[in-house]
Structure 1
Amino acid sequence: MSGAGLAAPRLRLAFLGSPDFSVPTLRALHAAGHEIAAVYCQPPRPAGRGKHEARCPVHRLAEEELGLPVRAPARLRGNAGEHAFFAGLGLDAAVVVAYGLILPAPMLDAPRLGCFNIHASLLPRWRGAAPIHAALLAGDAETGVTIMRMDEGLDTGPILLQRAVPIGPRSRNPELHDVLAALGAEMALEALAADPPSSPQPAEGATTAPKLSKADGKLDWRQDAAFLDRKVRAFEPWPGTFFEHEGTAIRVLEAEPAPAPPPARAPAPPGTVLDGLPTVACGTGALRLLRLQRPGRAPMSAEEFLRGYALPPGTVLG
């Protein structure tokens, strides 16, 4: 049932979220008429070539479009002043979506109905910071959204609602991200309106999706081609995937597993460019590179890229 069709009581809420994934839920809560007493998000950070301080997507939406008060503390642990402010808001509930900071007990206990987290996985699978990346990288057949009542653990609280979403054979992070973000917004409205009973997370099947860094995107040609294909699709746009050649980090924006070479052909070492497409030998199988990008250059099809950057057959990539 769609949360948008439910006659929900008007609640006094705090919203805690930072990236693009959080935006649909804040929009939905505001449009539904809930009173947003405060919006919490990550503080502005240097970004871009000029390293000017940039506000996160939730910060921009709250201030520029919705006119909501924003708080962006750098830390919450040990921040007694922030705990007192939060408790003084007189909240019915808090809604948390990819906020980026762990809420300490004084904040978890402050809202009358508790704190609700919208998480982009079918908990207990893929607790942690990068659940969409992890589900794609692992080759899961499905993922989804879980709404849970938060406790002091990392995504360990009891489950209120859960919806599954299939992962297609060529699913990419951006499309799956948008589907789950929209579903999470709908489910948040439903949870606030229906107050569904909670159930503890299963004891078995818990996995963790840790925070990613740019270094995690490096392609290891010794791995299976199907795995590397999933990695390219999972790590788009962040942290991205890349390989190194003669000191240059070249981004791989799109790729696909290549047909198996003829059986009579001697296997090439992993990382070897096999043809002019280019196709690269992997630990098992081969990966065909479709879109590439050099530092400071625009993304290009592999054909365009090779006109200005030679990767002849026999080249061994780092």
Structure 2
Amino acid sequence: MRIIFMGSPEFAVPTLQALVDAAHEVVCVYTQPPRPGGRRGKELTKTAVHRLAERLGIEVRHPVSLKSAEEQEKFAALEADVAVVAAYGLILPQAVLDAPKHGCLNVHASILPHWRGAAPIHRSIMAGDEVTGVTIMQMEAGLDTGSMLATVRTPVEDKTTGELTEELAELGAQLMVGTLIDLDALHPVEQDHDAATYAKKIDKAEARIDFARPAAEVVRQVHGLSPFPGAWFDLDGVRVKLLRAEVAEGSGKPGEVLDDTLAIACGSGAIRPVELQKAGKPRMNLDTFLRGNAVAKGMILS
């Protein structure tokens, strides 16, 4: 098929690669513009999709907006059979949604109608879902409200957002390729809009750990915000991120260090860090962290 691909972060990379590997003709890639980054924010950094498209020799466009008639005409002039969208980052106007022969298909990282919106993987983990997955959706003007063409599921278990993102990216890529094999034969299924839940964007204020919450909730917060922005606590005025944790034995005042292996009391139960990262330092396992940081039993972590 003649395809326009629209995506930006690492999550979208496997889908673009899979379309090319399946011998589809990707005529153009749309992605977010390069942003300041790199050392001291002085260098413009291209998106992961942008870098892959350049390696593949595919034309790249990165408009700030698709609202202008000029941009919409340029999009329509590509005469695509379908546009494949994966974490693109811009709202698609109706003229763009209607331009390809088969419209625009989205790789969404949840089982719709649950977790529509910006942060479905984070929210699924933080909510304690046992299962999540990917939905291929026919895009329309509403926020992730379009009809569903295909789904795939996977257990959440104790995965972090980083790990689950990688898994769902690969599952979504293969699901999209399979969906395109015989697109005309598929029967779109309307979502149950009454059952919808929304995955609002992660606010950095959510990252500070409240040890007054139950231990299981704290672990879900840690895993749901790992690796970014990273759930954190304060240790002697230094921010420490928890990147992985587990429920532990013990009880005490919320935030109290219960033993020499850094079991930390919560509102009910306790947690133990598995992987940590001090500000400006590399991530490290618990043993390495304890060798370089004195955390005494009885200390209260804020």
Q: Which residue of 1 aligns with 2:176?
A: 188
- Check if 1:98 corresponds to 2:87: yes
Distance 1:45 1:88 in 2: 27
Structure 2 residue runs of 5 or longer lacking an equivalent are none
Q: Offset at 1:35? A: 1.5
- Residue identity opposite 1:307 in structure 2: R
Distance 1:305 1:142 in 2: 32
Q: Which residue of 1 aligns with 2:59?
A: 69
Maintained 8 Å contact 1:254/1:292: yes
- Check if 1:161 corresponds to 2:150: yes
Aligned match for 2:280, one of 284, 292, 296: 296
Maintained 8 Å contact 1:12/1:36: yes
- Check if 1:46 corresponds to 2:36: yes
4+ residue stretches of structure 1 with deviation over 4 A? Answer: none
The 3 A distance-change label for structure 1 pair 179 and 293 is closer
Q: Offset at 1:300? A: 2.3
- Check if 1:270 corresponds to 2:262: no
Maintained 8 Å contact 1:221/1:270: yes
Q: Give the TM-score of the pair, scaled to structure 1.
A: 0.89
Distance 1:166 1:310 in 2: 37
Q: Offset at 1:80? A: 2.4
SS in 1 for 2:287: helix
Maintained 8 Å contact 2:115/2:196: yes
- Check if 1:83 corresponds to 2:72: yes
Q: Give the TM-score of the pair, scaled to structure 2.
A: 0.94
Q: Which residue of 1 aligns with 2:136?
A: 147
Q: Offset at 1:276? A: 1.8
Q: Which residue of 2 aligns with 1:283?
A: 267
Distance 1:297 1:164 in 2: 36
- Paired-residue identity, %: 47
Structure 1 residue runs of 5 or longer lacking an equivalent are 1-10, 262-267
Distance 1:73 1:246 in 2: 46
**Alignment RMSD:** 1.5
SS in 2 for 1:204: helix
Distance 2:181 2:272 in 1: 49
Q: Which residue of 1 aligns with 2:159?
A: 171
Q: Which residue of 2 aligns with 1:23?
A: 13
Q: Offset at 1:231? A: 1.7
